[in-house]
Amino acid sequence: MTFLDSAVWGGKFCSDGWRHSPARQPVTEPATGDRLGTVGVATAEDVDRAAARAAETQRAWAATSPQRRAAVLRRAGELFTEHAAEIEDWLVREAGSVRSKAGFETGLAIGECFECAALPAHPQGEVLTSEDARWSLARRRPAGVVGVIAPFNFPLVLGLRSVAPALALGNAVLLKPDPRTAVSGGVVIARIFEEAGLPAGVLHLLPGDGAVGRAVVEAPEVRVVSFTGSTPVGRAIGERAGRLLKRAHLELGGNNALVVLPGADVARAASAGAFGSYLHQGQICMTTGRHIVHESLVDEYTAALAAKADALRVGDPAREDVALGPLIDRGQLERVHCIVTDSVAAGAKLAAGGEIDGAGYRATVLTGLTTDMPAWREEIFGPVAPVVSFSTTEEAARIVNDSEYGLSVGILGDVGTAMRLADRIDSGKVHINEQTVSDEPNAPFGGVKASGTGSRFGGPAANAEAFTETQWLTVRPDIADYPF
């Protein structure tokens, strides 16, 4: 039996052990449409039971020694390493990842576990001064039960980056993966922590549709909701959580800009731009969605980018050596094509691509855009690179900031000019002489404006803010005297 053998999880979800479900959904390979298995689908009632059980087990887990919690996280990292090849196969077949992206994602998962293994030993508060004869402390306590709702694009790491720190800091977790990646974004995580020695009932895997997600948000025991996904869904979750007086950490969409400054090395810039726009078929919140190129370089840059796009082969990453795999489903494929064709109809020009290729989409370059065209204003979530020019850094800053999103920006070229430009940009992340797609387990991650509620992932400070509450504690040597 393999680590992810369907005999363990087929037709089941995980809530205090693997449970058979009368409702099931297929696990489908987007490149071929083949069925890879079935998973059990949870109901709102299952969520309610899981939340109640999670609240019971959380107190004992929080009382577990920091050394024990750290050991579970370290063992999880070791298990990801031991079973990396099998996990990568699932990322390739279920999520449509090319092999290099699957390896990168699994590596991030390993790093996330080892980084979070240090969290239990970090300082859990601070000593405060007090005008009275007492000790005064501000201490971090686990939030309690955390609801995690994860997306399909980087299903493993975008779920794990909430699950791992939440567990390390003493919380219980309800995990709802995207239905299209319930194995690589759900079963994998549940199996890893099961084998790592996490007590039963602390982590619950609850695949399902939007009704299951709503139940996770609304369960009274859930005090923190961590959502990664689209801005419209994030707004709805934030509104509902606000009414329920719960914290919602929202990592949402992006329409990220890559600025190419005058004098930049065009060949290197085009390579960076291609990677930023075409990695994982552009299905990344950090994807380079807008190429803003100085007028002295724009023609040369566009030609170089188009040449790279034309050279990228589209196909089935499980059976072919390709650069671009399938989009996650037919609906997303048609949406991308519609944005491209609508923009061309409005006057944009195709420099490369613009075609559906089986279950995938050709790497595309668009020029001649105006800022009101859908390919410029919308988050495409496909392998499309729109290019416009600028003449001054002031104009570049204005174009970058003229977006409802603010997640990631890359600036290529002279470092001094880039530093001055960075100071004028509204973005959660700025990368100088790098493209827009970058993530490390110890680095803060998050966006502003419609891209989310700021950095709530990565590093001890962000994780502590996300998954703990601050409690004021005072201690006196004797009972105080009062005037009553």
CB 400 within 8 A of CB 257: yes
Active-site residue identified among 251, 295, 355, 395: 251
Largest CA distance in the chain: 83
Ramachandran angles phi, psi of 26, nearest 5° = -75, 150
Active-site residue, 465 included? no
Strands 35-40 and 24-28: antiparallel
- Region class of 381: left (phi > 0), else alpha (psi between -120 and 50), else beta: left
* Euclidean distance between CA atoms 167 and 175, whole angstroms: 12
CB 390 within 8 A of CB 293: yes
Amino acid at 270: A
DSSP SS3 for 21: coil
Amino acid at 128: L
Active-site residue identified among 94, 115, 285, 379: 285
**In terms of C-beta density within 10 A (0-12 exposed, 13-18 middle, 19 or more buried), how is residue 99 classed?**
middle
DSSP class of residue 479? P
**In terms of C-beta density within 10 A (0-12 exposed, 13-18 middle, 19 or more buried), how is residue 65 classed?**
exposed
If one counts every other C-beta atom within 10 angstroms of the C-beta of residue 57, the result is: 19
Distances (CA, A) of 291 to 178, 278, 345, 391, 409: 30, 13, 20, 14, 10
* Euclidean distance between CA atoms 156 and 154, whole angstroms: 6
DSSP SS3 for 292: strand
* Euclidean distance between CA atoms 91 and 85, whole angstroms: 10
If one counts every other C-beta atom within 10 angstroms of the C-beta of residue 305, the result is: 29
Strands 468-475 and 135-142: antiparallel
Active-site residue, 251 included? yes
* Euclidean distance between CA atoms 326 and 153, whole angstroms: 12
* Euclidean distance between CA atoms 263 and 411, whole angstroms: 12
CB 156 within 8 A of CB 87: yes
If one counts every other C-beta atom within 10 angstroms of the C-beta of residue 27, the result is: 25
Residues annotated as catalytic (active site), given as ranges: 251, 285
